[in-house]
Structure formats: C-alpha cells, structure tokens
Amino acid sequence: MRRHAGEKIVPGGNVAVLANDAIGNFVAATPLLQLLKTESKAASVHFWCGTRVAEFRHAPELFDLFLPLHGSSPAELLGLIAEHTGSYDWIVNLESTAHSKAIAGLLSGELTFVSGPCVGHGGRGELSFPDDPQGELWADRRWVAEDLKERYPFLRSGFIAEIFARGCYFESEIPPYRVPSQPPGQQPPDLLVATSASLPEKLWPREKWAWVLDRVGSAGYTAGLLGAKPKDQKTHWMGGTAEDELVAQGLLIDLRGQYSLPEVVGALGQCRAVLTLDNGILHLAVAARARTVGLYRHGIHRLWAPPSDTLVVLTPGEGREVSEIEPEVVWEAVANAL
C-alpha cells in the first residue's frame, strides 16, 4: 500500500470508503461518496459502513456495494476482507479507530493508494501521511479549532464533509447531503423532535424540553418524537428516560421505531420544522431540506454543523454546556421555523 497524494486513479479503478455507522457519520460521508462517483471515474465505489445504517444500503447514486464493516460477526467480517483484499485501487478511511485503521491496511494490495488513517506496513505503527498540506490536515488533531481555515487556506469551511473531500484532493464545490428517502405511511406532526444523543454532554434537560414543547402545543402545533425503539435506545444513545417522561406528559407523539430510516428522511421532509440535538436526526433533517433548529456544543459546531440555509445552529457559547442553552432562545428559533 502507498499514500495517496493527489494521484489520479486509473479510470475504471475500484474505490473503497470506510466509515463509522452512526447515522451522522454516514450522512457526513455522502458528499465525498458523490464526488468519488462523479469525479474519480471509478468503475465501482464500495462503502464499508455498518449494520446500524443498513436500511440505506440501496443507494446507487452514492455507492455500488454496501458492506458491514461494523456490526458483523468476526467470521463474517474476515470473510468479506478475504473476498475483497487487493481488489481496490484507492481506499479512503474516514475513521480513526484501531479497527478501521487495521481493516484499511488488510484490504490494501501492494499498489493500493490509501487516504486517511491506516495501520503501517506489516501491521506496525501507522502509515505516515503525505508531506503536504492535505497530509498535515489528516494528521491535525484540532479540526474543531477556530483558525482551521487560516491554517489550511484550501478549506472554504471547517465542515467535516469538506475536510474529507479536500483531504482526498478534490477541489470542486462540496455537494449537499444526499440520502435515500421514502414517504412515511402518514402525514407527520408539525414539529419532529429528537432528544437523544450519543454523549451526555450533548443532552439538554428534560425540563427545558418540556417548557418548549408546552409552548409548541399552546401555539396549536403537534410534535412527534423520533428515535430508536425504546428497548434498543440504550444500546447506542442516551436520554431515553427524558423521552419516556415527555411522552407520558402528553407533550410528544411517540414515533420511536415506527419508521425505517428512509421513511424518517421522508417524514422530515414533510414536517413543518425539526428541533434536535447534535445527532443523526439533525443530519437527516438537513439532507431532507427541513427547517431545522440544532443544539450544539460550542466549538463542535464548527466541525459538525453542515453549512445549510435550512439549519439554525444554537450553542451555549464558549466554555458553557449545552444544558445551559436557554429555552426561550430555543422557542424563538422553533417558532420562526414553524
């Protein structure tokens, strides 16, 4: 394997992209997947992701084959690796986990170009990044820094999807999110809400959710709760207790687990507005062009808030917690979106 440093892949070559299967990570990979399909002239793009987003596996505009990097049994994964090792001309790894780095190396042949984190030759250490600005960007541990664009002038934003694309030497405009969508079985509520997240520091207090949702109802709007089935929620997300209490109070229609992921996208596209934490629903909402209010940790928003005219980003300010965002500020943004 060898480092990709801007070389053109031979037309008709095969490309693999490795990514985490959290919904937000999947969506954030879609701009790069589109560029690989349209600009690299690859014969095929294989997307190694995972079982959590397998309902999106049929997306020919993004990739030609979906493979479960995450969520497979060891035997299944080893079989997939053996089947595809050495078949790729270019591998792009979007994850910094030891698992993904190792798989990127195992899939590589002698002449495979590699972008992103990767185990070193012989399984020792890590493969050095190119000695150029793009390589420095891959190696940089401060992607959330306020001065990122100043240090890397080829960046037009600090958005993670652009970082992925520029790290692969694409210079064109970054495409918007694109994910498969299907209409839901029935018209969704006016406001769709997602209160859970993967980290405790992303959460917003139940009392503040209740304060805002009470005003949503008083204004004559309906509100529905999106998320995983309650029995599955604790596997990957936090905030389930608050969800249950808000539903029990009659402030939210419980839609958790009632839609497939493509139907979630369809529902987001049909509702009047979305209120959500920084989670996968936020990224699906932006993909659906829904009017969205998103609550972010300050600083993280520079990396994970997609540049979209449909998204209102609210942060608590430097040095403060998401839990400190005032409900009056959130309600004002939601009322404007509705």
pLDDT digits (tens, 9 = 90+) for 161-208: 999 999 999 999 999 999 999 999 899 999 999 998 878 888 999 999
Torsion angle of C-alpha atoms 262, 84, 15, 115, degrees rounded to 10:
110
CA distance 161 to 143: 12
CA distance 186 to 289: 19
- Residue owning tokens 């701009």: 31
- Residue count of the chain, please give it: 338
CA distance 315 to 129: 34
The answer to whether 227 and 199 are in contact (CB under 8 A) is: no
- DSSP sequence for 311-336: EEEE---TT--GGGS-HHHHHHHHHH
pLDDT digits (tens, 9 = 90+) for 226-270: 988 776 665 555 555 888 899 999 999 999 999 999 999 999 999
Looking at domain 191-337, does it have CATH number 3.20.20.70?
no
The answer to whether 231 and 257 are in contact (CB under 8 A) is: no
- Residue owning tokens 């001065």: 147
**pLDDT-derived band at 21, boundaries 50, 70, 90:** very high
CATH superfamily for domain 2-167: NAD(P)-binding Rossmann-like Domain (3.40.50.720)
pLDDT digits (tens, 9 = 90+) for 38-65: 998 888 999 999 999 999 999 999 999 9
Domain boundaries, the chain: 2-167, 191-337
Instruction: Give the pLDDT of residue 10.
Output: 80
pLDDT digits (tens, 9 = 90+) for 295-304: 999 999 999 9
> What's the mean pLDDT in 110-121?
95
2-167 against 191-337: fold identical: yes
Q: Which residues pair with 91 in a beta bridge?
A: 16, 114
